[in-house]
Chains A and B, each alone.
Chain A
Amino acid sequence: GNSVTQMEGPVTLSEEAFLTINCTYTATGYPSLFWYVQYPGEGLQLLLKATKADDKGSNKGFEATYRKETTSFHLEKGSVQVSDSAVYFCALSGSGGSNYKLTFGKGTLLTVNP
């Protein structure tokens, strides 16, 4: 079945540092890939997405590229801010028997210190 593996963290960085959160997946067919962000006490929000191989999703300075050859969708940001502190979830859309739901990784807690 479909699965998503992401680095569990926690990840702690200083402000203006470079961020990478790794995400790899296993899926049949051609899923869409997503990154969601969850700020403390809130629901998950869509951060960015990519719907086909080699697409790059971007939003708020974050980027991720859909790499089918390495089955990866790593999240990057060149210079993090304290306000980026949150939990980040990688997800993929289902296909075949799982085409009714998203499959999520377990989340990565990011803390950015001033």
Chain B
Amino acid sequence: DAGITQSPRHKVTETGTPVTLRCHQTENHRYMYWYRQDPGHGLRLIHYSYGVKDTDKGEVSDGYSVSRSKTEDFLLTLESATSSQTSVYFCAISESLEDYGYTFGSGTRLTVV
């Protein structure tokens, strides 16, 4: 989507390796989020950020860490990838939830073999 990009779009990695996904925004929005989407589970929040260096856990944070050193970038790291982390990962941004909701990125399809 305009104003938010995710990289890479696709990645295949081996079990036990570290993986970092990047979300970049040009909207200067305060809030950034990482979700995973899996069949039968819908969207599940992994971590979110409410400002530079301010982050918190979502409902499925085990095995993931995040960092936000500047407003425009929010990184998601899988410290040691497992097959259960094979998923599609979406980043979202927001400035005012009540007024505008989220703007989502196009997603990263991650396969852990």
Of A31, A91, A93, the most chain B CB neighbours within 10 A belong to A93
Instruction: Given A43-B106, A44-B90, A46-B103, decide whether A104 and B42 contact each other with a Cβ distance below 8 A.
Output: yes
A80 to chain B, nearest CB (A): 23
Which residues of the partner chain A approach B31 to less than 8 Å between Cβ atoms?
100
Q: Interface size class for chain B? A: 20 to 34
Q: Is A77 an interface residue (CB 8 A)?
A: no
Task: Choose from B41, B56, B58, B98 the contact partner of A51 (Cβ within 8 Å).
Answer: B98
Which residues of the partner chain B approach A104 to less than 8 Å between Cβ atoms?
42-43
- B1 in contact with A101 (CB, 8 Å): no
Contact digits for B78-113, partner A, Cβ 8 Å, 1 yes 0 no: 000000000000100000011111111111000000
Instruction: Given A32-B99, A34-B101, A105-B42, decide whether A100 and B1 contact each other with a Cβ distance below 8 A.
Output: no
Which residues of the partner chain A approach B56 to less than 8 Å between Cβ atoms?
100
- A101 in contact with B99 (CB, 8 Å): no
CB closest chain-B residue, reference A32: B98
CB closest chain-A residue, reference B31: A100
Contact digits for B48-68, partner A, Cβ 8 Å, 1 yes 0 no: 101000001010000000000
CB closest chain-A residue, reference B109: A41
Which residues of the partner chain A approach B43 to less than 8 Å between Cβ atoms?
44, 89, 104
- A102 in contact with B97 (CB, 8 Å): yes
Interface residues of A (CB under 8 A from B): 31-32, 34, 36, 42-46, 49, 51, 89, 91, 93-94, 99-102, 104-107
Interface residues of B (CB under 8 A from A): 1, 31, 33, 41-43, 45, 48, 50, 56, 58, 90, 97-107
Q: Which 9 pairs show the lowest CB-CB distances between chains A and B? A: A43-B104, A106-B42, A93-B97, A32-B98, A44-B104, A34-B101, A43-B106, A93-B98, A104-B43
